[in-house]
Amino acid sequence: MTSALDGKPVPSATRQEFYRRLREKNAAPLWEVLANLVTPQPKPRCVPALWKYEDMRALLMESGGLITAQEAERRVLILENPGIPGMSQITQSLYAGLQLVLPGESAPTHRHTASALRFILESDAGFTAVDGEKTTMRPGDFIVTPSWTYHDHGNPGAGPAIRPVIWMDVLDLPIINMLDASFSDHHPQGTQPLTRPDGDAQARYGANLFPVDYEPSRNTTPVFSYPYARSREALDRVQRGGPLHPCHGFKMRYVNPATGGSPMPAIGTFLQLLPKGFAGSAHRSTDSTIFCVVEGSGRTRIGDTTFPWTQHDIFIAPSWMPVSHSSDSEAVLFSASDRPLQQMLGFWREEAPTS
């Protein structure tokens, strides 16, 4: 006897005829779909995949000749998971893309329900302005655009010294759209006015001090920028103090300084250092994770596939697949996932499988 959890019950002509009548009434038999609906463990449709930065950068620069940042509104190449093509998703819950702003260009001010993060890959003088404040982008910086805050991006000046600005975007769009809760609009003035001096949020909220009467008003970080210089130095010091985690190397999570929770409610972000020659053991968790190589080179085994990576490559580890990292040189990985959302709902799981 097959039970509904192991497989489908045997179809018979009478049953098929009954199912047809159910369809007419917008109903369906649970026992035909139960095994796929209530899976014994995660069955992600998204697959492990790697985007080589070298290839993606060439395509991104090509797009720079085809459309302006102004016309495109956002000149972005979406990183689409090959397991769910056409969905504009890198995982079941997250969107990711690579955005290009050429010297002298700006991307107009808009806002949307989705929260966004920018992880900066290349920038001399690029900036993003969030909520009336300009933040300079430097390679390795992690920058937050909270839900429903006006934002625009720019690359000032021209001339041979100014390089393109390129970053990885991660947004929780698939979650917003699953919930049918998407709103967006443009700033009435085209470009938002700057109402606060550069570095204001960093000084008020990012220096282990808060204004004396500050009450956290949103479930999102009041700091817009997490500069790489500071997080890199922290990783160095953490490495010196140890201990080395057998799976993660030295792994830290970014925090909202007002709560100790994640900077954005649905997206968790992490930075980890793998010492030279690290050979990590396997780990898995239920949050499908986007990794971006900040420094160094190495390999990551995800399920049965091994992906060699170098600087700025992006790869994805689907839910519950064993992941093990190895490094050739000292390496730093940035990563992002829906972990805080799963933790808030109470079902996030992790394990280090033994074998």
Torsion 297-298-302-305 (CA) sign = positive
The one among 171, 176, 316, 333 contacting ligand GTQ by CB under 6 A: 171
Q: Which of residues 197-256 bind ligand GTQ (CB under 6 A)?
A: none
The one-letter code for the residue type at 268 is G
No. of helices (H) and no. of strands (E), the chain: 8, 22
Of 199, 184, 352, the C-alpha closest to 284 is 352
Q: Are 256 and 117 in contact (CB under 8 A)?
A: no
| Residue 74 binds ligand GTQ, judged by CB under 6 A | yes
DSSP assigned state of 32: G
The one-letter code for the residue type at 182 is S
Shorter beta-carbon distance to ligand GTQ: residue 130 or 331: 130
Give the chain's radius of gyration (CA, Å): 22
| Residue 105 binds ligand GTQ, judged by CB under 6 A | no
Give the number of other Cβ atoms within 10 Å of residue 162's Cβ.
Answer: 17
Give the number of other Cβ atoms within 10 Å of residue 166's Cβ.
Answer: 25
| Residue 94 binds ligand GTQ, judged by CB under 6 A | no
Shorter beta-carbon distance to ligand GTQ: residue 151 or 312: 151
Q: The tokens of 131 are what?
A: 């909520």
Place of tokens 């290839």: 55
| Residue 99 binds ligand GTQ, judged by CB under 6 A | yes
Q: The tokens of 318 are what?
A: 């689907």
Shorter beta-carbon distance to ligand GTQ: residue 81 or 99: 99
x/- letters, 112..151, toward ligand GTQ (CB under 6 A): x---x----------------------------------x
| Residue 75 binds ligand GTQ, judged by CB under 6 A | no
For ligand GTQ (CB under 6 A), the number of binding residues is 9
The one among 105, 169, 313, 330 contacting ligand GTQ by CB under 6 A: 169
| Residue 97 binds ligand GTQ, judged by CB under 6 A | yes
Shorter beta-carbon distance to ligand GTQ: residue 49 or 273: 49
x/- letters, 148..167, toward ligand GTQ (CB under 6 A): ---x----------------
Shorter beta-carbon distance to ligand GTQ: residue 90 or 282: 90
Shorter beta-carbon distance to ligand GTQ: residue 111 or 248: 111
Dist CA 289 CA 278 (whole Å):
20
| Residue 316 binds ligand GTQ, judged by CB under 6 A | no
Phi, psi of 325 (to 5 degrees): -100, 140
Shorter beta-carbon distance to ligand GTQ: residue 76 or 316: 76
Give the number of other Cβ atoms within 10 Å of residue 220's Cβ.
Answer: 24
Q: Are 144 and 263 in contact (CB under 8 A)?
A: yes
Binding region for ligand GTQ (CB under 6 A): 74, 76, 97, 99, 112, 116, 151, 169, 171
